Amino acid sequence: MCVAQALSVQNAGEMDLRVTAGRYAETGARGTVDVLVQSLQLSSSEAHRRIALAKQVLPVVDTITGAVAPTAHPILAEAFFSGSLSQERAVSVSHYLKEAVRLASNGRISEEKSVEVEEALVATGQLQGPDFIRSVGNQIMSHLDPDGNKPSESDLLARQGLFFRKPRRGLVSLYGACTVEQYEQLMAIISFATNPNKHTNIDTLTTTAAGDGNGGNEECDGQESLLDNLHDLSDLLTTSTSTSTSTSTDPPSSRESRTPDTAQSGPPPQGPPPQSSAVQQQAAPPPPEPDPCSEAEPAPDPEPDTDTAPDPEPDPESEPARPIPPPLING
């Protein structure tokens, strides 16, 4: 089966040389693909695969001089024509070999490294299927060329652009490609136009003038100033900080004396906060020390307690004189 596929690929390669020489011009065929499609009833994709593989495994013939050069991949050609590789697996291996040849021609890898890649892929293809060959080939290419081939300016100009498709069901599809710089500029414009947050045009900010706090900040139309919002936030933080500081410096007794009713009824009364009796006794000044040289003044008599003191004796002089009764006459 593999040998028959190798012979079909060889016949497609020889047919390509004959068509290039102009032997089938009278048939009206535009190329080798049309000749294979008309003669062998193949699909165009199968004809393309056979011709591309033939250029990789057959010797290269110069159409002008007729000189024959060796094949580009001798290891792959030997394994394919010996029957150890099928056409599908040989096509998968040849795809990664063309990438290795491109890297070697650009000086990215050496010729010895390209030969090692060919040997590894051919050995893998003799044991595994096409899917496993693709997995191994992708890993090898990622290791050899992790950044990929840098496109030229002409390639970028040829591929970039925006394209529209035909209307379908009331919608027009569009697709395109752009460079990295164009993508960044486009995303900046879209983000600016769709941003719901209010902002200030930072390109118009200048240095502050003498005595001017705003400094010539020109705001966008319909936008508030970001500096005003920052000033409001700073004032709010300053007010909350001063309030918390004054609350923490109050003595514990004054904070305990505040009841929830007083806190909820409204702002505190004007004047210093009330102090407890213990605080007032501590705040009273100490009595002056007595002078030993001065005469000691007699201490005043203590006032009698009205509840425990005895009733005072009546004064006889202050009482009014009682009338003396007349003497009794015996008789």
- pTM given for the model: 0.48
104 within domain boundaries: yes
| Model pLDDT, residue 69 | 86
Listed residues 104, 129, 152: the one ending a domain: 152
> What is the mean pLDDT of the segment spanning 254-280?
50
- Give the single-character DSSP code of 204: G
First-to-last alpha carbon distance for the chain, in angstroms, is 192
82 within domain boundaries: yes
233 within domain boundaries: no
199 within domain boundaries: no
Listed residues 51, 71, 91: the one ending a domain: 71
Same domain, 112 and 127: yes
From the list 84, 139, 144, the residue with the least C-alpha distance to 112 is 144
Same domain, 46 and 112: no
Please give the residue that has the higher pLDDT: either 155 or 204. 155
Q: How many domains are contained in the chain?
A: 2
Same domain, 67 and 95: no
Same domain, 77 and 139: yes
Q: Give residue-wise pLDDT tens across range 110-154.
A: 889 999 999 999 999 999 999 999 999 999 999 988 877 777 788
- The mean predicted confidence, pLDDT, of the chain is 74
254 within domain boundaries: no
Q: Locate the DSSP E strands across the chain.
A: 60-61, 68-69, 161-164, 174-177
Same domain, 32 and 83: no
Which residue segment(s) compose the domain that 89 sits in? 72-152
Same domain, 103 and 146: yes
Please give the residue that has the higher pLDDT: either 163 or 277. 163
9 within domain boundaries: yes
Write out the H or E segment, with its range, that includes residue 230. Answer: helix 226-249
From the list 112, 48, 58, 97, the residue with the least C-alpha distance to 80 is 58
Same domain, 85 and 137: yes
Long-range contacts for 13-20 (Cβ within 8 Å, ≥24 apart)? 13/50, 13/51, 13/54, 13/55, 13/58, 16/51, 16/54, 16/55, 17/61, 17/63, 20/63
112 within domain boundaries: yes
Task: Indicate if the pLDDT at residue 289 is higher than 70.
Answer: no
260 within domain boundaries: no
